[in-house]
Every structure is written in structure tokens, then in C-alpha cells.
Amino acid sequence: MRANPSDYEMIAPGSLHATVALMASEPGTWLPIAGGTDVMVQYAAGNLRARRLVSIWNLPELRRVEVTDGELRIGAGCTYTDLRQHPIVASEFPLLASAARWTGGIANQNRGTIGGNIVNASPAADSLPALLVCEAELILVSARGERRLPYVNFHTGYKKTLLAPDELIQTVCLPRRYASYISHSRKVGARNAQAISKVCIAALGWVANGIVEDVRIALGSIAPVPLRLRETEQALTGRSIDSASLLLARKTAMAEVCPIDDIRSNARYRTTVAGNLVVEFLNRLGPGRSHEPAGAEDTSDNNVLERWNRLPIEKATGAILPCCGSKAWAQKMSARRPISNEDSLLVASNEVWRSLAPPDWMEAFQSHPRIGESKAAQAYPQSVAWSAQEQRGVTDDSLSVKKALADANREYERRFHRIFIVCATGKSATEILSILQHRLNNDAETELREATEQQRQITEIRLRKWLQG
């Protein structure tokens, strides 16, 4: 039955100090409400037992992020949107950034808070495994003072926590020491937005010389609380990643979880998926994909991406820029990290490229030299080298063809007011000349479409080279 608002009292004290004073005056009476994404749902269904609420939404003391050398201190009142938009979360805590992206939809991310998610203590919450693997600590506050404790001990049973009746979570502290670990997360649910996970994983790993040095794995929706898989972690540490260790990890993980049957899934499915997710994570860590401490050279495909995924956003943008030449493209690509493999990288590139506006396309075109020349209006060192490789076929042709190409280039620029763009890789000057003469017949709109398609192909080829290091 629907609740009657006249049965409820609610106060917004406006400061943290006044809030904890109120809670201390009648411990256990006042239920804190922040963004209301859980409390208001219970209220609407007539299931909210508390009759007196204290609003902590938007309390300035709870809605700030502090960055120190050693840790990120996130105010418990920060929303998922706040987390998604914070540059350090994006660059150093990809597990938390993905979890924030997968929680609810945009409107819920604008209201739901990290502190609320922890206190609501749903074993299915997407962000909690991410906090577990990076050894988060909580600062709790009450009129009696503050105390700091490891998050891993906070959940004591289904929807039970260590929070005293007069206490609030003030800050979530995340150590920055795992920023260079390989990270892996996945939500298995009916869909990412809105749906609650059937199973979700967050994991961090460090492999050196093919040996697992450190691994930390947490799962959601497979136990009464978000769970660290300590036994699985222990079984893997010190081993190389091979079929025997994958088998062992799957078996240990499946024995370690204790899920239930409910409306979203059943225990058997969840147990199987838990094993699959652990194996999927290990495959990311696996042979040929291990990474060395920062500074060591390693040129395999995946390591280029892994390294790029971990760069601060400005550096990542600069690193990928020569593949295309458009700054907007490079920024949007960096914002889409982490990108796990070549296929996803190419799909993302195509999508981002098509979404750009004509001035961005123009910027990319200008980073190429005119066909037959070597100097672009606006080039990056790496793109000069790539342009030379791409145009290798052109340099081998006769002088008369080169002359005709130069004339046609001029004609093209006069008609379309930009340089002629063609994916030159593998094409001779004669072939390019005939393509160019054909394209001179296009109307402006068709030709712009053609040029952007050619640039898309060039970018794709360059991304593949880039992945090779």
C-alpha cells in the first residue's frame, strides 16, 4: 500500500555537525536519506519503517573529493555522476568508473551516492566489489567523533553493517597503489542500465615474468555480502597462468561462492558464471599479456592498450592523436577507456569518427601531406612516418604521373577547399590519379562523405600499427 506523507517527519539540518548532533540526540530514530534511490522506493511501496528522516543530500562536507599522494578520499555523498566525472577515478580506478556507469540510468546516477550504496548493503551493488579489491577504508562519523576501519569488515551479514545507530559514513578512502595493476570488471545482467546484476566481478592483478605476484578478486550477488574470493586468490598467487591454474581457479571460485535462487537468477547459474568470470579475468592476465613494472619495454599488442588505458587522460589523448589527427576524436577515444582489445578499439574509433562535426574532420584531413608530398599543414612526428609508409607506392611512379597528380590535387583543392584524402596504403600513383579524377566529379556532399570514409580507413590502418608498438 502506498505511504501517506503525513505519517512522516523530515528535517534537513544543512550541515554535517547539525546532522550528527540530531542523530546523537535520539540514536536509531533518524534515518539518513541522501539521493533517495533506495529509501524513496521503500517509501513509495509503503515499506519504509522509519518515520523520521534526516536529509543529508548535498551536504557540502560529504560531497567533495580530496586527492592526496597516497589516496583518493571520496565524500560519502558523492553521486555516481560525480565519480564518473572525476579525472582520478577515470584514470586510476577504472573498476569504480565502470561500476558507476553500470549503476541505474543517468537520473539515478545523478542522485545515488557511494555512501548510500554501501549503507544500503545490497549484495548485488555494482560498486562494492570494486571497493573490496582496492582495499578501501571507511571513515565513520558521529557526535562522538570519527573512526576509520577497513571496508572489507563493514558488511557483517545480509544487509547488516558495522554502522552504529548514531553514525554516518563520511568518507570512502581508496589507496592509489593499485593504479598500475591490470583490472577487469564485468556485469552479468539482463542489461547494463537499470538492471540489477545476476553476478558482477571486479578484479586486479599483477603478473611479473609470467608469475602471478598479486591478485585480488571480488564478486557481487553470489553471497549475502559482496565477497572477496580469498581462497581463489591464495590458490593463484605464485603460479603461472596455464590450463592447470585456470582449472584450479574455476574450481576454487565455484566452491567459495554461496549464491541463492531469486527472481533474477538461480544459484547454479550464478556459480557457473562466477567460475567463468574468474577464468575470463585470468585470461586477461594470461601468458603473453603479463606486464612488467613501469618503464620496462614491452611491445605486444595488448600491452600498448593496457598501458594506454592507464594513462592520465591528457597523455592518452596525445598518444592516440597521430592515428587520426582530430583532437576531438582523440579526446573522445580516451574518454572511452578502458578499451580491452583491437576489435573494441576499431569499433569505438568508427563510432567516434562518425559522430564528429565537419571542423573536426577537417582537422584530421589537414594532418596529412598532399599526395605526392611529405609535409602536412599540421603533422605529428609519428604521423609523418606513417604518411611516408602509406604513400610508398606513390613515390615509385614516373615523373609524368606525378605531374598529373600535382595538377589534379590543385584542381581538387580549388573545387573542395581542402586537400584530397585517400587511403593510399598499397595504391600506386596511377591508381590514385584515376581515383582522384573520378572523385573530382562528385558533388560537395558526396565528396565529403567519401573523404571521411577514406580517413576512417587510414585511421583504422594506423590504429593497427599503433597497437604493434
Partner 1 sequence: MINSRAGYGKIEISFTVNGEPKKLRAYPMERLLDVLRLKLGLTGAKEGCGEGECGSCSVLMNGVLMNSCLIPILQAANTNIQTIEGLAAENSMHVLQQTFLDYGGAQCGICTPGMILAAVQLLDRNPQPTTEEIREGLSGNLCRCTGYNQIIDAVAEAARRRNSA
Kindly list the residues in this chain that would bind partner 1 in the complex (CB under 8 A). Answer: 3, 5-15, 18, 33, 35-37, 40-41, 43-45, 53, 55, 57-58, 81, 101, 104-108, 110-111, 191-194, 328, 332, 351-352, 354-357
411 vs 453 by CB, closer to partner 1: 453
57 vs 269 by CB, closer to partner 1: 57
Distance CA 95, CA 112 (A): 18
Among candidate residues 177, 271, 181, 260, the one with its CA nearest the CA of residue 232:
271
111 vs 418 by CB, closer to partner 1: 111
Alpha-carbon torsion (301, 302, 307, 311), positive or negative = positive
8 vs 380 by CB, closer to partner 1: 8
Distance CA 443, CA 323 (A): 28
Smallest separation, CB 52 to partner 1 (Å): 9
11 vs 377 by CB, closer to partner 1: 11
What distance separates the 2 farthest-apart alpha carbons in the chain?
A: 93
10 vs 208 by CB, closer to partner 1: 10
- C-alpha distances in angstroms, 96 versus 89, 101, 184, 202? 7, 9, 11, 9
256 torsion bin: left (phi>0), alpha (psi -120 to 50), beta (else): alpha
Smallest separation, CB 119 to partner 1 (Å): 17
Evaluate whether 197 touches 93 at the Cβ level (below 8 Å). Answer: no
55 vs 428 by CB, closer to partner 1: 55
Smallest separation, CB 324 to partner 1 (Å): 14
Smallest separation, CB 8 to partner 1 (Å): 4
Smallest separation, CB 18 to partner 1 (Å): 7
Among candidate residues 243, 245, 221, the one with its CA nearest the CA of residue 233:
245
Look up residue 19 and give its amino acid. Answer: T
347 vs 377 by CB, closer to partner 1: 347
Smallest separation, CB 45 to partner 1 (Å): 7
The four Cα atoms 310, 314, 316, 317 give a dihedral, to 10 degrees, of 160
194 vs 378 by CB, closer to partner 1: 194
Smallest separation, CB 348 to partner 1 (Å): 8
Smallest separation, CB 201 to partner 1 (Å): 21
**Can you read off the three cell numbers belonging to residue 331?**
579526446
3-state secondary structure of 442: coil
Helices (H), 257-312: 267-285, 301-310
Smallest separation, CB 271 to partner 1 (Å): 28
Among candidate residues 18, 300, 8, 249, the one with its CA nearest the CA of residue 143:
18
Strands (E) in 275-367, as ranges, are none
Smallest separation, CB 428 to partner 1 (Å): 35
Among candidate residues 127, 147, 97, 103, the one with its CA nearest the CA of residue 337:
97
81 vs 309 by CB, closer to partner 1: 81
**Can you read off the three cell numbers belonging to residue 364?**
584530421
Q: Do strands 65-67 and 71-75 pair parallel, antiparallel, or not at all (unpaired)?
A: antiparallel
Rounded to 5 degrees, φ, ψ at 363 are -60, -40
Among candidate residues 202, 171, 211, 162, the one with its CA nearest the CA of residue 64:
171
